Structure 1
Amino acid sequence: MPAAPPFPLRKECPPGACDCQRDELLAQWCDRPDSTDIRIMQLTREEEKHLIARIEAMGSYADLRRIEARLYELLGVQLTITPSVNGVRTVMGLQIRLAPQPGLCRRTREAVPAAVRRCLSSHPEIVYALLDAGDLLGGAGQL
């Protein structure tokens, strides 16, 4: 049986409050540590607070891209921003989501997109840059 992961793990959610499948992911990692990605388990509640603060402090399109890349690189989390079917007239016309994956807490799946939305509301130039870059229209369809 392998040793404990080399980093502090996120604490368990209360029973019935989350569908993160934390225990199943850890059990899978214990069986096959080389083939199981548990990077998401590094996101403790304190680290999540730092992440939310950093997202809310974004000031440019480049910052958004950098945070999106770092989320994927460090935690294996895919952030997507897509237009709603009714078009983009305000920030509420954007669908901001984290791709579901084992170990990603329900609370985090709600908090990160909410922080991105708050940032985009206070910095509309980032939304304009997204639209100008074609990230929301036609091309890739996701950020």
Structure 2
Amino acid sequence: MPPLPFPIRAECPPGACVCERERLLAEPGADIRPLALDRKQEMKLIERIERIDSYADLQHVQELIRRNIGAELRIAPGPNEVRTMRGIIIVLEEKPGLCKKVRQSVPAAVRKRLQEKPEIAWAILDAGNLFGSD
């Protein structure tokens, strides 16, 4: 295996994750960007999410995730009526090399931030013209 352009996340304990780390490393030409999200980088991402202060800033963080690890952070109103923050669906897409813990911690951090800054949640809802603004 040739040297990697960046440090990668340590292997998860056997049976604890389904990130397919080893298969990804063995596959020539595979997108290994998700492996760059080691524990230290994950904590930096969570800290960045905790500093989100607007809908535009949230969209910027989504773009950073897309560009740097190649995964999509989807945030949208649920299919039913949204009465609480739980009604907003937040998912970090499954991608080979992306640890299960990260796919849980990132949406949890976003949900927490939406609870702290409800105006961002309102902007998410209004992005679909929920409030009828033009």
**TM-score, normalised on structure 1?**
0.86
> Aligned to 1:85, what secondary structure does the other structure show?
coil
User: Could you say which residue in structure 2 is the equivalent of 1:128?
Assistant: 122
Instruction: Provide the rounded CA distance (Å) in 1 between the counterparts of 2:36 and 2:68.
Output: 9
Give how far 1:87 is off.
1.7
- In structure 1, stretches of 5+ residues that fail to align are 138-143
Give how far 1:86 is off.
2.5
**Contact persistence 1:52–1:112 (CA under 8 A):** yes
Instruction: Provide the rounded CA distance (Å) in 1 between the counterparts of 2:112 and 2:52.
Output: 10
Aligned pairs for 1:102-113 within 5 A: 102-113=96-107
Give how far 1:135 is off.
7.7
Instruction: Provide the rounded CA distance (Å) in 2 between the counterparts of 1:21 and 1:5.
Output: 17
Give how far 1:100 is off.
0.7
1:40 aligned onto 2:39: no
Instruction: Provide the rounded CA distance (Å) in 2 between the counterparts of 1:136 and 1:102.
Output: 35
Percent identity of the aligned residues?
Answer: 49
> Aligned to 1:104, what secondary structure does the other structure show?
coil
Q: Cα deviations across residues 8-27 of structure 1 (Å, max 9, x unaligned)?
A: 01000011111111001111
> Aligned to 1:92, what secondary structure does the other structure show?
helix
Runs of 4+ in 1 over 6 A off after TM superposition: none
User: Could you say which residue in structure 2 is the equivalent of 1:85?
Assistant: 79
Aligned pairs for 1:19-34 within 5 A: 19-28=18-27, 32-33=28-29
Give how far 1:90 is off.
1.2
> Aligned to 1:81, what secondary structure does the other structure show?
strand
**Contact persistence 2:91–2:103 (CA under 8 A):** yes
User: Could you say which residue in structure 1 is the equivalent of 2:66?
Assistant: 72
**TM-score, normalised on structure 2?**
0.92
Give how far 1:61 is off.
0.5
> Aligned to 2:41, what secondary structure does the other structure show?
helix
Instruction: Provide the rounded CA distance (Å) in 2 between the counterparts of 1:135 and 1:62.
Output: 16
Instruction: Provide the rounded CA distance (Å) in 1 between the counterparts of 2:130 and 2:21.
Output: 32
1:51 aligned onto 2:50: no
- In structure 2, stretches of 5+ residues that fail to align are none
User: Could you say which residue in structure 1 is the equivalent of 2:12?
Assistant: 13
Letter in 2 for 1:6: P
Instruction: Provide the rounded CA distance (Å) in 2 between the counterparts of 1:134 and 1:14.
Output: 41
Matched pairs, number: 131
